[in-house]
Structure 1
């Protein structure tokens, strides 16, 4: 019998959790044990498992990624252009999301924070103190404190205390200099970190196998506590994410294609259509990669030399939609707690979203771990990600399509800057346009 795919299992868990929470409420129980306490136990156990993954996964993934890019001569002219435009498209996506979530404020309902509607347990005061501790005291000194936290005096203590910004910076520096110590030591270290990353991927896959159970507990607990009051802020949040993704796809990307590649954005959409539809249906950048490469080579006219380097790298590190979603989700949770985040804290969210979208992009349900990292970096409760599960499947499909669109955009731009002719001109060297 064919096993049901994980996303369908999660969808069923959401529906069952909604029904169970609505029917049981907070009082019903069996043999003296309330169903609500069972929901809470199961959901908390799953969140703790996600927290357990954060430090070893993010450190090993970034070290291996930086060392892999920095080694083998890949940081030449082609690699430099690719990394610049991948960073640019992801940063623009994050900024679009940041602007829209500040304008719409989905975490505010009728002028009040949605904390109670979402059944978030931590008090606003406790969360504010946690965010303040993460940022450092003093309004003007928060940005400077953020840079200071990037260089922790004790990396072990930073890991124990969840100071992710310092761990990320250390991992980037470690991965870079790992390629500068000679093959004898560098190869040994690379094998170690690559093995650790592979093990963490296996553990993550194992944890995610229990995601339907964890999602059931989280959703049932929320519905049991608040009924269906949580639906409104979550719907507004989802529409905000979809709106930001649409702005990035229909405004930011076309401007880049028109101004840098001097090509038609409509031609890009037409060429990338098979890859975008596949990405939307599978919600997997890696699974879509063969179709993306075929579309860019045969339909867009990008050479194999460019596509074979740019697109596999993009499927690993370029996650426009994921980065945008992570930023909007973190801001939504902050708004739900009634927090006014300073420019410094929002800057931390932007930087962390950019880096984590690179560092954990290849794992199943990467956004869950990435959002947990961002929340920990700015002092917000990681437990709050439980409310994001309800509409996550459709948002995952949409942001994966935008991830692929960003990859295709970069491939077209890099090919154009490399002097290739016929890119997005309706014909390719292998296949002339039909009359």
Structure 2
């Protein structure tokens, strides 16, 4: 019997989780939150959350050794840094351009649809929902808002500080310090090529061996992905606040439509006309990574899967993948930048704040900067939205953010998938520009 492909297994797990989560939630509501079934449902979600956390931890566990060994082995195999400056310029240029496109798509749609406006006036129903959500926010949500509220625009400078962490061991244990690991790994790899070959032969072989082992471990972890994905999604669907989502349906639709246009129109056009590759073939190659990104809502946790898909399925070389993808998971956030722009404009519409062209231009610039500068911190979008709202002099920003945070998980999953796909597009376009034979159906042709 033919084995079902991994991405189809994950998709079936997602569908099953949505179906069971919806059924359990409806039965719980019908029972008025009391009874044996309600207790069973709560226990089921707790067990599911525990299994989902284990899956997430397993993915995060391999990020550091995979990044370090991949970058160092890739530079060592080249025998130097020839072309790395060109590679870096292309990568950063791609990331800046696609993030700007994403923001402009979001800005255009939020101005055309006006999700915060009803009958030509600020939507008072949503404004009241904002107030209620702020009052009903959990202690954990209030703590997140308070933490984000303490950050200032000058904190963007932390982005550059993270490039050179004073303690690389401490940086390895902090997801927000992945940029420092990338810089250290590049410097280590370059330094290794400057030592006499005879002395470095064993170290280079060791790094290559570690990288091969980490790829194998990634495959083992991904064999459990359908279970992990189900476990992550089931509690999300069960706990989702559908009542507030109904009030914010127009806002949800605007965000999802904008993300869809960027994912299915803008990025494929770039693949077709800049990368000279088939967008359909690339979607097929990245299927498992996209579903993993959607279910985990974490670009960093999805990184091992993304690197596996981009090398084994798309045929991008280790040299290109090991540079573009870890960097992208740290600084390239197309979906996040788009979401920030739409969220800020939506809040302004609900609050009755008229945003002039100049003010919207400021929002575009701020969204572009914050999607890079605060991407490594927990609740990055929350931090960015608060910073932009404050910078735009919009009152009661904390109240609005509390409402958005309460329904953020579903949108977070969607924009993470866009973030990951944007990273993969960068790897393919850069690889194609470097003369690599990608997406040809022969993935081993450029695997080194």
Q: How would you bin the TM-score normalised by the shorter chain?
A: 0.5 to 0.7
Q: In 1, are the aligned partners of 2:245 and 2:407 still within 8 Å (CA)?
A: no
Give 1:84's aligned residue. 93
- Displacement of 1:396 in angstroms is 0.8
Match of 1:107 in 2: 116
Q: CA RMSD in A?
A: 3.9
After TM superposition, give the deviation of residue 116 of structure 1 in Å: 5.1
Distance 1:197 1:113, change over 3 A: farther
| Structure 1 counterpart of 2:303, from 289, 299, 306 | 289
Deviations 1:388-409 (A, max 9, x none): 1343111111111000100010
Contact 1:201 1:363 in 2 (8 A): yes
1:355-366 equivalent positions in 2, closer than 5 A: 355-366=369-380
Comparing 260-269 and 73-82, the one that deviates more: 73-82
Equivalent pair of 1:238/1:391 in contact (CA under 8 Å): no
Residue among 416, 439, 442 paired with 1:424? 439
1:411 partnered with 2:431: no
Change (3 A) 1:252 1:431: closer
Where do 5+ consecutive residues of structure 2 fail to align?
A: 1-17, 34-79, 132-148, 178-239
Normalising by structure 2, we get a TM-score of 0.58
CA distance in 2: counterparts of 1:378 and 1:333, whole angstroms: 11
Change in 2 beyond 3 A, CA 1:429/1:97: same
Question: How many angstroms does 1:365 deviate by?
Answer: 2.8
Identify which of 254, 274, 277 aligns with 2:291: 277
Report if aligned partners of 2:286, 2:309 keep a CA contact under 8 Å in 1. Answer: yes
d(CA) in 1 for partners of 2:423 and 2:264? 15
What is residue 266 of structure 2 aligned with on the other side? 252
Contact 2:127 2:351 in 1 (8 A): no
Which whole-Å deviations, capped at 9, do the CAs of 1:36-77 have from their partners, x for residues lacking one? xxxxxxxxxxxxxxxxxxxxxxxxxxxxxxxxxxxx989711
Cα distance change on mapping 1:286 and 1:231 into 2, 3 Å: closer
Q: Does 1:339 align with 2:339?
A: no
Change (3 A) 1:355 1:411: same
Match of 2:330 in 1: 316
Counterparts of 1:116 and 1:163 in 2: how far apart (Å)? 31
Return closer, same or farther for 1:115/1:261 CA change in 2, 3 Å cut-off: same
Distance 1:233 1:346, change over 3 A: farther
In 1, distance between residues paired with 2:264 and 2:378?
Answer: 27
Q: Deviations over 1:334-358 (max 9, x none)?
A: 0001122011211111111111111
User: Residues 160-201 of structure 1: CA distance to partner in whole angstroms, max 9, x if unpaired?
Assistant: 99762x654x667x75xx99xxxxxxx7xx528997998896
The answer to which of 108-117 and 93-102 deviates more is: 108-117
Q: Is the Cα–Cα contact under 8 Å of residues 162 and 376 in structure 1 kept in the other structure?
A: no
Q: 2:170, 2:110 → 1: CA distance?
A: 39
> Residues 281 and 372 from structure 1, CA distance in 2 versus in 1: closer, same or farther, beyond 3 angstroms?
same
TM-score, length of structure 1 as denominator length: 0.60
Aligned partners of 1:163, 1:342: CA distance in 2, in Å?
24
Secondary structure, counterpart of 1:338 in structure 2: coil
Give the 5 Å matches for 1:10-409. 76-115=85-124, 117-119=126-128, 120=130, 164=153, 168=156, 190-191=165-166, 231-380=245-394, 381-409=397-425
C-alpha distance in 2 between matches for 1:406 and 1:384:
29
d(CA) in 2 for partners of 1:198 and 1:429? 33
Give yes or no for contact 1:317–1:361 (8 Å, CA) kept in 2.
yes
Is the CA contact (8 Å cut-off) linking 1:93 and 1:248 kept in structure 2? yes
In 2 relative to 1, CA 78–341 (structure 1 residues): closer, same or farther, beyond 3 Å? same
Partners of 1:113 and 1:198 in 2: CA distance: 45
Q: Is this contact kept in 2: 1:101–1:240, CA < 8 A?
A: yes
Unaligned runs of 5+ residues in structure 1 are 1-7, 24-71, 122-159, 180-186, 203-218
